[in-house]
Amino acid sequence: MNAFASTGTATDRPAPWPTYVGDLLLREPTAADLEPVLAFRNDPAVNRFMVRTQVTADELRREWAAIPHSDTDWSCLVEREGDVVAMGFLDVVDAAGQPGHPAGTDGVIGYVVRPDAAGQGIGSATASALLRAAFEVLGLRRVTARANADNLGSARVLEKAGMRRERYAVQALWQHELGWLDEVEYALLDHEWPQASGARAL
């Protein structure tokens, strides 16, 4: 049982995790994961590509404790042979300020692979698993993902997952240490998922 879930979980909560993708286990984080995750989450090779560059143990603990009670945060960790090798992010988001906008239909995904585990297909497997969770478990309509425009690895991961590049935005993203950056955005609709999931190994 998730150590953070001891005060009760949200009722009728769908359960995308745990799930296996090959030898990767995607599961909810627990308190025991804080130390190994922080060891790579704040690595300069990682946070160069993250909007939030540094994350503290307290912030992670607070965020993870809220996950079992949340209808919008479906973050997970990716484990291989007992070691955490990646983080996955899946948030349900709603457009702001549009009258009558349906609620809870759209999602945003993201991921961080432990640098010494990069280049082994973990990012691609994680992105596909997040899309599968979004469309097949949560029933979302549209999922997007954003990356720094110079993050060629992340762009390739999203393309391999079958997502469509929809936007190149010039100096659109503020990053605390690097300033204004160009950003790319990818998207996929629910009716496109069956074909994308079949094509993800290409």
Ligand X SMILES: CC(C)(COP(=O)(O)OP(=O)(O)OC[C@H]1O[C@@H](n2cnc3c(N)ncnc32)[C@H](O)[C@@H]1OP(=O)(O)O)[C@@H](O)C(=O)NCCC(=O)NCCS
Interface contacts to ligand X, rule CB under 6 A: 46, 49, 110-113, 118-124, 147, 151-154, 156-157, 160
User: Of all residues in this chain, which one has the CB nearest to ligand X in the complex?
Assistant: 123
Smallest separation (angstroms) from ligand X to the CB of 114: 8
DSSP 31: G
Contacts of 175 (CB under 8 A, 6+ apart): 51, 53, 148, 181
**Smallest Cα–Cα separation from 91: which of 112, 70, 77, 64?**
70
Nearer to ligand X (CB atom), residue 132 or residue 160: 160
Tokens of 112: 């961080």
Smallest separation (angstroms) from ligand X to the CB of 26: 14
**Smallest Cα–Cα separation from 64: which of 53, 76, 54?**
76
Nearer to ligand X (CB atom), residue 48 or residue 69: 48
Question: Per residue in 52-82, is it b (16+ CB within 10 Å) or e — as a string?
Answer: ebeeeeeebeeebbebbeeeeebbbbbbbee
Nearer to ligand X (CB atom), residue 119 or residue 139: 119
Smallest separation (angstroms) from ligand X to the CB of 175: 11
Smallest separation (angstroms) from ligand X to the CB of 96: 22
Nearer to ligand X (CB atom), residue 159 or residue 190: 159
